[in-house]
Structure 1
Amino acid sequence: MDQQAGASTASDEAGTHRRITSFVQQRNRLTEGQTHAWDRLWTAFGLDVADVVSGLVPYDPPAWFGRRAPLVLEIGSGTGESTALQAAAAPEVDHLAVEVFEPGLAQLLMRIDEAGLTNLRLLRGDAVDLLRERVPPGSLTEVRIFFPDPWPKRRHHKRRLVQPAFVTLVASRLAPGGVLHLATDWAHYAAQMRAVCSGEPLLENTSTAADGWTPQPAGRPETKFERRALAEGRDVRDLVFRRISAPHPQPPN
């Protein structure tokens, strides 16, 4: 959701590297219901990315879920409205939701409890660190990034999540045939996403349309956030790229 920011390690024009995280730090204030859900459910369904990255907690989805199943990673799950719906619709798939916004995580815990979900686990922290340090290459069936922070001001575009180095990292963690699914309601960011993903040799656009956009897949629910964006006149664009086994050969010059 738009309360998150983009992240990876980016280079500025001078060639120096700046650290970009997959989130914007926000003050966390839980409602009474969210606090109750957190106290009851976090230890059963949640982990801290820092603990996983440091090795204090092993990265072991089969142990977390008690089975081996296709694995989806969602970056920036927000309040988890679409996350919970998608997990409920695909009980045969395991879902990891990475988010830093504690009220959103608490809200998603409430949704897990209400729906009785067993195929969803939450990770609090930076998804980029998790991908880089602990997610094995070729291990993910899908990566979802829905409505990341657009950083609309031109001087802030370098903070956006979907940058070449980040997309290369994601592509390396997808299994052949795995999918990177992006959605945004900001036209300029959508164009950047399309250009960056099209430039990644390990990804191919699944769209058959001339403009490269994909109609909203049936599996991605329309959320309250999305309805508000549409009401405010912003079109929502989806992009679905597939991991290929090897880069397509380049035509001779």
Structure 2
Amino acid sequence: MTDDLITDAELPVRRREIKSYVMRAGRMTDGQQRGLDEGWPKFGLLLADGLQDFDQVFGRQAPRTLEIGFGMGQSLLEMAKAAPEQDFIGIEVHRPGVGSLLNGLLTENISNVRVYSCDALEVLKNCVADASLDRLMLFFPDPWHKSRHHKRRIVQPEFAQLVRSKLKVGGIFHLATDWEPYAEYMLEVLNVAPGLVNLSAEQTWVPRPAERPVTKFERRGERLGHGVWDLKFTRVAD
């Protein structure tokens, strides 16, 4: 039954492109399956539906945040619960993670989240209007450690300009990584990106913002002595 719920993955691919993610198989728990069965019809959005009027989707005008790669969805769930006056759009390709978030939305009776399960770049290009987002978040993307794989990193000059085009003037691009070389790489790309200004006075990273929930993964890393680097950029007028 659930194989019919998310159909974008079955759409024909026009050309082979480098992906910034790897599809990973995973077993579904009963809760995750419930999320897909019951939650997807309520909260799911399809790439095939094209450009969205999110005021119509959510039934209101509200500050709007989009998160790329929400993982298992716990942080997005916490942020949406803490800010019911805001709307959130999450994108994730990992089906157990999608199911987990949807199950959480049902369990917590949260209604200010909508979900895509497909390529984030395609969603930004085809489904999100220019200058329509108040915030875009990218937390702990795959750093692609090996040099020959750096081309797979989602943070590239072209991506920076795509993000800029979707943010309102004054909108925030918030990134976080636990891999310092990737943090330095992000700074290298974004500090020279037209239309984006680093909110760090030192042009580096910012203290962890209170609005970003600390994940279990991050707590474990802290116990092991790992660091986390947050970066914030704002869109300025063209």
Question: Do the two structures share a fold, i.e. TM-score over 0.5?
Answer: yes
| Two-structure CA RMSD over aligned residues (Å) | 1.6
Alignment of 1:153-192 (within 5 A): 153-192=146-185
Query: 2-side partners of 1:86 and 1:146: how far apart?
Result: 13
Alignment of 1:81-96 (within 5 A): 81-96=74-89
Give yes or no for the alignment of 1:70 onto 2:68.
no
Query: 1-side partners of 2:29 and 2:66: how far apart?
Result: 27
Post-superposition, which runs of at least 4 consecutive aligned residues in structure 1 deviate over 3 A? none
Structure-1 residue corresponding to 2:228:
236
Give the superposition deviation at 1:22: 4.3
Structure-2 residue corresponding to 1:217:
209
Letter in 1 for 2:228: V
Number of aligned residues: 224
Letter in 2 for 1:233: G
Pairing partner for 2:49 from 52, 74, 81: 52
Letter in 1 for 2:63: P
Letter in 1 for 2:19: T
Question: Retained in 1: the 8 A contact 2:36–2:102?
Answer: yes
Question: Retained in 1: the 8 A contact 2:67–2:89?
Answer: yes
Pairing partner for 2:22 from 24, 29, 43: 24
The percent of aligned pairs where both chains have the same amino acid is: 45
Give the superposition deviation at 1:245: 0.8
Letter in 1 for 2:96: P
Question: Retained in 1: the 8 A contact 2:20–2:152?
Answer: no
1:109-130 deviations in Å (ceiling 9; x for gaps) = 1211222111111111011011
Please list every run of 5 or more consecutive structure 2 residues that lacks an aligned counterpart in the other structure.
1-14
The 1:211–1:170 alpha-carbon spacing in structure 2 relative to 1, beyond 3 Å, is closer
Give the TM-score normalised by structure 2.
0.89
Question: Retained in 2: the 8 A contact 1:22–1:128?
Answer: no
Q: Could you say what secondary structure the match of 2:49 adopts?
A: helix
Question: Retained in 1: the 8 A contact 2:86–2:112?
Answer: yes
Q: Could you say what secondary structure the match of 2:124 adopts?
A: helix
Give the superposition deviation at 1:18: 7.0
Query: 1-side partners of 2:43 and 2:141: how far apart?
Result: 23
1:24-82 deviations in Å (ceiling 9; x for gaps) = 11224311221122211110011232x234xxxx5221222111212111000000111
Give the TM-score normalised by structure 1.
0.84
Please list every run of 5 or more consecutive structure 1 residues that lacks an aligned counterpart in the other structure.
1-16, 247-253
Query: 1-side partners of 2:115 and 2:49: how far apart?
Result: 12
